[in-house]
Structure 1
Amino acid sequence: MADPLSYRPKAGEIPTQPGVYRFKNDAGRVLYVGKAKNLRARLSNYFAPLHSLHERTRRMVTSASGVDWTVVGSDIEALQLEYTWIKEFDPPFNVKFRDDKTYPFMAITLADEAPRVLVTRNPKIRGAKYFGPYPKIWAVHDTIDLMIKAFPIRTCSDSSYKLAMQTGRPCFPGQIGRCGGPCSGKVTIAEHRAMVDDFVSFMTGNDRRFVTEATRKMKEAAAAQDYEAAAKYRDRLLALEAVLAKSAVVLSDNVDADLFGIEHDELTAAVQQFVVRGGRIRGVRSWTVDKELDLDESDLVEAILQRVYDAASGTDVPKEIIVPELPDDTTELEAWLTARRGKGSVRLKTAQRGEKAALMQTAQMNAKNAQMLYKTRRSADFVARSQAMSDIQEALGMEEAPLRMECYDVSHLGGTNIVASMVVFEDGLPRKDQYRRFSIADSTDDTESIYQVLTRRLAYLREDEAESATEVDPLEQVTKPKKFAYPPQLLIVDGGVPQVQAARRALEESGRTDIQLAGIAKRLEEVWLPDSDYPVILPRNSEALFLIQRIRDEAHRFAISYQRAKRKKDIGSVLNDIPGLGPSRIKVLLKHFGSVARLKVATPEEIAEVKGVGPQLSATIHERLHSR
């Protein structure tokens, strides 16, 4: 571990201009790349006293052995150079796009003599116009099948097209009427190009014109009794309406925008992108981002936009980009995106109200679901679980892998209705049939609550072991397992040093020396052991940290749900005993104040403001609530 003071540059040596900096280790590998409007001010933050740094930042600066920087002319140049270096050096402490898979696109090969439409995952076809991305490949094929009915452009391969033009015999799609390409002899190169232009225009968002035109021509042909032509326009109209039905209007017709929903925790972030053109969702994309350093949402937004629009140009960059939170460098990002677009300015916005805010909520909901699905699939991976338990064993210095882990969390409301939870994971999976809940009658703080709960739990363990040591007639043995029958290899508490020391006291008093103890502090995600002055830092996005985090979150969820249920039952029983207060008035009271805590601290006058509750009844309610 390097001492940052050993390579810290003198303050006077660091320029105050904008620039990009790189932290490197002894081997010369770039660990982190960042940008700054003022290099001196930014770098000084990394060389603050170690105890004041975020745990992940402290690990980065102590892993490095040097830092250098490059001064640039403007903030925009710093933005560009930062991302160039991130792509070139792939620094381990920068944001990682974990599963940024290649999505299928619909592409129109505009550079060809006779452009064709195809499904592709290749984003670099020369001169091609792309639409999408689509979540599934069948969704692209469905859209193409419908569009070809309205705009019969070429779909055959280049080799088939070349052979057809040489032999004069149409390609197979041309023979069955699914292609209006020049090889069929039905249209010329120029007429085919016009159909391609209409195809692109419709997909870009100018769709109402074609629907109106097809409707008009159908009526005109019907009026002229040209029923064959009328049927052709009818089929085209039906195809256009089918395409429009697959991408329902979500915003005004003139809106071209990308919306990004982001759901993130301490380790990962799920991103959901909606591509809206002409007021319709034309593409959907979802991926997961790994977070190494502690990044807030604005920093995540900046990194995501850089990645998404790095190779974009033209209309691939919309006029409007809607994000959950604006980054600090909004002005510079807008200038960079405007240069990518090449025509017209690009604005970054947040959606506060109206139709855009409603669509943003949908994107956020999809991102949340994607985050949950990602964690579920990762937890179900047997190899990943095995690796996690092996890594935990090594990191905590255990003699064997923790096949059984128990985690404890405390929940309360302003010191009232104190409860605790115990969740059990065996082989990396939850054993919900062995979860336990504890009610705590009286406690001074969370550490005292942890001590009480573990003392009770370990007492059950002693009783079960004492009974198992007593000789019992085999015929009289009970097959039902005892409560709390199995000791864990690893006992986890939600919290840092104070909670760990409270748990240690309970273990020592019970005489247990065979159970490993650890605590996980939520803000920094570091693991604390009872005999160490420094936390164990598990690698970000390691399977070990993911498993411990999941156990902690499950304990927290279980404690919160019990505490809420107990609180509701508790306050309900008290209010039900008050004369003159029936179920309907209780419901009105709780709805008015919003929570039990607010009702308890309300004055008699405030309670009397509730409809149906007079001064006498409000005084009785106040007295009963404060007599407990």
Structure 2
Amino acid sequence: MLVSNLKNKTNLIPSGPGVYIFRDLQNNPIYIGKAKSLRKRVMSYFQDSRVLLPDKQAMLRSVNSIDFLETDNEVEALLTEFNLIKRHRPKFNVSLRDDKKYPYIAITLNEDFPRMIFTRDLDIQGARYFGPFTSAKTLRKTIESLRKIFPIRTCIGRKPGKGTGKPCLNFHIGMCNAPCIGNIGKIEYAAIVSQIVLFLKGKQGELLVELEKQMKDYSRNQEFEKAATIRDRMATLRSVLGDQKVYQMGGDFDAAAVFIGDGLACAEVFKFRYGKISSCDSFFLDIFKGAGVETCLQYFLKAYYQNAVFIPPLIYIEQEIDDHAFLEQWLSSEKGAKVLLLVPKKGEKKRIIDLVRKNARSDLELEVQKRSTAIKVDMKPIEELKNLLSMEILPRRIECYDISNISGTSAVGSMVVFIEGKASKSYYRKFRIRSVPGQDDFAMLAEVIERRFSRLVDGTANGGFGYIPDLIV
């Protein structure tokens, strides 16, 4: 549609806060934005296109229609904008390259003998979460390492053990204290759980003080074997922690920065707890040509902290952003306490931001190098499959489903995904069969397919479920 025709329709747009959606000829969203005043923001695109950046001019040439959603306030508009971008991934918006659910550590504190488990869901009742983590593989290794220091169960179910009356292998290799056979009491087990929580919260100093007190108490009571166990635990912890620089600022804060490449950006976050670097996470963003640091940083902060288990009172960023006040208001409401976004100009805080940005640049360069040296996928088999099945398009995304069970019980459905002819394991999923008794593979497959695609129909699909496959096997 001509820009002049679109401009004439802007008077029909309400003046309150909300989200606007620019659509192309095929009615696909190509840009989603939010505004304090919808009418003013949309009209600003049509005042004088010559003052717009080239990417915005290119976007306007593709706009055929404009939709809008009114919200009660600016913060609600900000969240609605983020969720719509995540769902539709418009061409002219920034989006996380892999927006599947990130993994967390969950401690099931509402159980008599809590478990430490790997999870991507935040709906386990009574659990304490730590994360998100960027790598599932690294997180699983972290959990394994933690269990060598703090023996805690990982078996399924609220009650420990499997009903056999015998401890599992984890007890024999020192990775569980076997509460299932009464080898450890609730009080002693709870002490181990509290130590894990202290460690994951970044309070390693407090943890070492608590362990030393516990060791002395055991020695005083002549429980020398238990005292030796605590001593060894402290030694292992000290070797893991090593000598780490303590920054003068102290306290809890995050530092975030972005480095932009060609069609790809890297966002980096350093988490500081008690003045020490607790963790460093990097995320890759798909960006449109002309996207700047401000645009990328705004989107990333919304994406990263939407499901963050802990939001620090201070978040340092590399430059001012348009959504500064909205984001502070939203972050404060999520935390339940004041959160500040600060842009350091000098001193140690500025040096930290420079370090974060330097790491973002290095991670982006490594990612680009990795992709440039990757083996190109041979598209010939995909083309042959297209011809064999008389398809109009190449089956670039293929989803395969199957059912597995043990003598008719414990049935599970699996979803395996191939993209451009290559297995894409990050999109693999498992479905526990809920509604089909006995052994009926056809009915089970029907349940799995319905559960997978109902999310697309009702608009709740995210991550890998947000894509429509070209071929289902």
Same fold (TM over 0.5): yes
**Greater shift after overlay, 231-240 or 11-20?**
11-20
Task: Tell me, in whole angstroms, the C-alpha distance in 2 between the residues paired with 1:116 and 1:132.
Answer: 16
Return the letter of the residue paired with 2:171.
Answer: G
Task: Tell me, in whole angstroms, the C-alpha distance in 1 between the residues paired with 2:221 and 2:307.
Answer: 51
Q: Which residue of 1 aligns with 2:385?
A: none
Q: How far does residue 34 in structure 1 lie from its aligned partner after superposition? A: 0.9
Task: Tell me, in whole angstroms, the C-alpha distance in 2 between the residues paired with 1:241 and 1:355.
Answer: 27
Matched, 1:258 2:254: yes
Stretches of structure 1 that go unaligned for 5 or more consecutive residues are 387-628
Q: Which residue of 2 aligns with 1:16?
A: 15
Q: How far does residue 204 in structure 1 lie from its aligned partner after superposition? A: 0.9
Q: Which residue of 2 aligns with 1:44?
A: 43
Matched, 1:351 2:347: no
Matched, 1:340 2:334: yes
Q: Which residue of 2 aligns with 1:232?
A: 229
Judge conservation of contact 1:204–1:278 (CA < 8 Å) in 2: no
Q: Which residue of 2 aligns with 1:364?
A: 357
**Greater shift after overlay, 330-339 or 48-57?**
48-57
> How much is the aligned-residue C-alpha RMSD, in angstroms?
3.4
Q: How far does residue 11 in structure 1 lie from its aligned partner after superposition? A: 5.6
Return the letter of the residue paired with 2:326.
Answer: E
Deviations 1:404-435 (A, max 9, x none): xxxxxxxxxxxxxxxxxxxxxxxxxxxxxxxx
Task: Give 3-state SS (helix, strand or coil) of 1:316's partner.
Answer: coil
Task: Tell me, in whole angstroms, the C-alpha distance in 2 between the residues paired with 1:92 and 1:299.
Answer: 14
Q: State percent identity of aligned pairs.
A: 32
Return the letter of the residue paired with 2:212.
Answer: T
Q: Return closer, same or farther for 1:299/1:128 CA change in 2, 3 Å cut-off.
A: same
Q: How many residues align?
A: 379
Task: Tell me, in whole angstroms, the C-alpha distance in 2 between the residues paired with 1:58 and 1:32.
Answer: 12
Q: How far does residue 229 in structure 1 lie from its aligned partner after superposition? A: 4.4
Q: How far does residue 322 in structure 1 lie from its aligned partner after superposition? A: 1.8
Deviations 1:101-128 (A, max 9, x none): 7665433233444221234555655544
Matched, 1:211 2:204: no
Q: Which residue of 2 aligns with 1:72?
A: 71
Task: Tell me, in whole angstroms, the C-alpha distance in 1 between the residues paired with 2:145 and 2:53.
Answer: 54
Deviations 1:79-102 (A, max 9, x none): 122223223433221112224576
Deviations 1:493-538 (A, max 9, x none): xxxxxxxxxxxxxxxxxxxxxxxxxxxxxxxxxxxxxxxxxxxxxx
Task: Give 3-state SS (helix, strand or coil) of 1:33's partner.
Answer: strand
Task: Tell me, in whole angstroms, the C-alpha distance in 2 between the residues paired with 1:322 and 1:149.
Answer: 35
Task: Tell me, in whole angstroms, the C-alpha distance in 1 between the residues paired with 2:299 and 2:375.
Answer: 32
Q: How far does residue 222 in structure 1 lie from its aligned partner after superposition? A: 5.8
Matches within 5 A, 1:283-298: 283-292=279-288, 294-298=290-294
- The counterpart of 1:195, out of the listed 175, 192, 196, is 192
Stretches of structure 2 that go unaligned for 5 or more consecutive residues are 380-473
Matched, 1:378 2:371: yes
Matches within 5 A, 1:488-527: none
Task: Tell me, in whole angstroms, the C-alpha distance in 1 between the residues paired with 2:198 and 2:235.
Answer: 18
Task: Tell me, in whole angstroms, the C-alpha distance in 2 between the residues paired with 1:221 and 1:190.
Answer: 14
Q: Return closer, same or farther for 1:252/1:167 CA change in 2, 3 Å cut-off.
A: farther
Q: Which residue of 1 aligns with 2:27?
A: 28
Q: How far does residue 67 in structure 1 lie from its aligned partner after superposition? A: 1.5
Judge conservation of contact 1:83–1:306 (CA < 8 Å) in 2: yes
Task: Tell me, in whole angstroms, the C-alpha distance in 2 between the residues paired with 1:16 and 1:105.
Answer: 41
Return the letter of the residue paired with 1:366.
Answer: N
Q: Which residue of 2 aligns with 1:326?
A: 320
Return the letter of the residue paired with 2:17.
Answer: P
Task: Tell me, in whole angstroms, the C-alpha distance in 1 between the residues paired with 2:189 and 2:223.
Answer: 24
Task: Tell me, in whole angstroms, the C-alpha distance in 2 between the residues paired with 1:199 and 1:76.
Answer: 35
Q: How far does residue 275 in structure 1 lie from its aligned partner after superposition? A: 2.8
Task: Give 3-state SS (helix, strand or coil) of 2:189's partner.
Answer: helix
Q: Which residue of 2 aligns with 1:311?
A: 307
Q: Return closer, same or farther for 1:268/1:14 CA change in 2, 3 Å cut-off.
A: same
Q: Which residue of 2 aligns with 1:155?
A: 154
Task: Tell me, in whole angstroms, the C-alpha distance in 2 between the residues paired with 1:229 and 1:115.
Answer: 21
Higher relative contact order (CA 8 A, sep 6+): 2
Q: Return closer, same or farther for 1:20/1:102 CA change in 2, 3 Å cut-off.
A: closer
Q: Return closer, same or farther for 1:127/1:362 CA change in 2, 3 Å cut-off.
A: farther
Q: Return closer, same or farther for 1:232/1:268 CA change in 2, 3 Å cut-off.
A: closer
Task: Tell me, in whole angstroms, the C-alpha distance in 2 between the residues paired with 1:135 and 1:10.
Answer: 44
Task: Give 3-state SS (helix, strand or coil) of 1:309's partner.
Answer: helix
Task: Give 3-state SS (helix, strand or coil) of 2:76's partner.
Answer: helix
Task: Tell me, in whole angstroms, the C-alpha distance in 2 between the residues paired with 1:197 and 1:229.
Answer: 17
Return the letter of the residue paired with 1:335.
Answer: Q
Task: Tell me, in whole angstroms, the C-alpha distance in 1 between the residues paired with 2:327 and 2:216.
Answer: 50
Matches within 5 A, 1:108-257: 108-120=107-119, 125-133=124-132, 139-140=138-139, 143-145=142-144, 147-148=146-147, 150-158=149-157, 161-163=160-162, 166-189=163-186, 191-218=188-215, 227-245=224-242, 248-251=244-247, 255-257=251-253
Deviations 1:58-80 (A, max 9, x none): 22222111213333332222212
Q: How far does residue 200 in structure 1 lie from its aligned partner after superposition? A: 0.9
Q: How far does residue 378 in structure 1 lie from its aligned partner after superposition? A: 3.4
Q: Return closer, same or farther for 1:178/1:269 CA change in 2, 3 Å cut-off.
A: closer
Task: Give 3-state SS (helix, strand or coil) of 2:284's partner.
Answer: strand
